[in-house]
């Protein structure tokens, strides 16, 4: 076999070994769950600021996002249906979104990388425009016990039929448990 043909096999073997290393500690901790696993299960709410970076040469903006979710343990992951409300200001125009979301979290020790996506409604003012709103992105939380976590999130957001198309970057702080 040529070296080029061995590359996909080597990549697949490396990926399989990595997945087994991640899932082994998760399954070994079924008796005692990590703080990240415990903190992502059940009802959770979050509120945070967001900086909006336009995908074209437009101006930057900012906003506030309120989200809620209910996490269920599914093997080494936490699956969490929820909802998201966002209010943003860009160039003297207000944009708002409301949508159901779905979040997948893979707690590994104190770390909790996650992916989130959602589809709903959105609109902009001056002039009034509305359309289908969607979001996709992810982030990483670091849990200091069950009570405190800090992290960051980056999302791509769009409202069809409007100028609203941005990358949103924001800090995440979670209290309670």
Domain borders along the chain are 1-32, 33-175
Query: Do residues 22 and 108 touch, judged by C-beta distance below 8 A?
Result: yes
For residue range 132-166, list pLDDT tens digits in order. 999 999 999 999 877 788 999 999 999 999 989 99
For residue range 105-125, list pLDDT tens digits in order. 999 999 999 999 999 999 999
Query: Do residues 82 and 63 touch, judged by C-beta distance below 8 A?
Result: no
Cα separation of 12 and 33, whole Å? 29
Q: State yes or no: pLDDT of 83 exceeds 90.
A: yes
Beta strands in the chain (DSSP E): 42-54, 61-74, 77-90, 93-105, 111-124, 129-144, 148-159, 165-175
Mean model confidence pLDDT for the chain: 84
Would you state the CATH architecture of domain 33-175?
Beta Barrel (2.40)
Please give the pLDDT value at position 4.
44
Q: State yes or no: pLDDT of 29 exceeds 70.
A: no
Please give the pLDDT value at position 35.
87
Please give the pLDDT value at position 50.
95
Query: Do residues 63 and 53 touch, judged by C-beta distance below 8 A?
Result: no
> Quick one: average pLDDT of 62-70?
94
Q: In terms of pLDDT, which residue wins out, 68 or 173? A: 68
Out of 21-25, 28-32, 65-69, 87-91, which region has the weakest mean confidence (pLDDT)? 21-25
Cα separation of 119 and 157, whole Å? 10
Q: In terms of pLDDT, which residue wins out, 142 or 56? A: 142
Cα separation of 44 and 54, whole Å? 29
Tokens of 171: 């800090």
> Quick one: average pLDDT of 14-40?
61
């Amino acid at each position: 076999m040529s070296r080029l043909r061995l590359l996909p096999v080597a990549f697949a073997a490396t990926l399989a070994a990595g997945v087994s290393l991640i899932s082994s500690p998760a399954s070994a901790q079924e008796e005692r769950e990590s703080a990240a696993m415990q903190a992502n299960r059940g009802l959770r709410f979050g509120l945070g600021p967001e900086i909006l970076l336009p995908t074209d040469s437009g101006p930057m903006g900012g906003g506030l996002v309120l989200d809620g979710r209910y996490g269920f343990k599914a093997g080494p992951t936490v699956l969490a249906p929820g909802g998201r409300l966002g209010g943003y200001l860009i160039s003297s125009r207000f944009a708002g979104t409301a949508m159901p979301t779905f979040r997948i979290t893979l707690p590994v020790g104190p770390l909790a990388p996650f992916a989130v996506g959602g589809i709903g409604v959105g609109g902009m003012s001056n002039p009034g425009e509305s359309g289908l709103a969607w979001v996709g992105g992810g982030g990483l939380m670091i849990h200091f016990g069950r009570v405190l976590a800090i992290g960051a999130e980056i999302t791509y957001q769009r409202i069809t039929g409007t100028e609203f198309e941005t990358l949103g970057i924001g800090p995440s702080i979670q209290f309670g448990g």
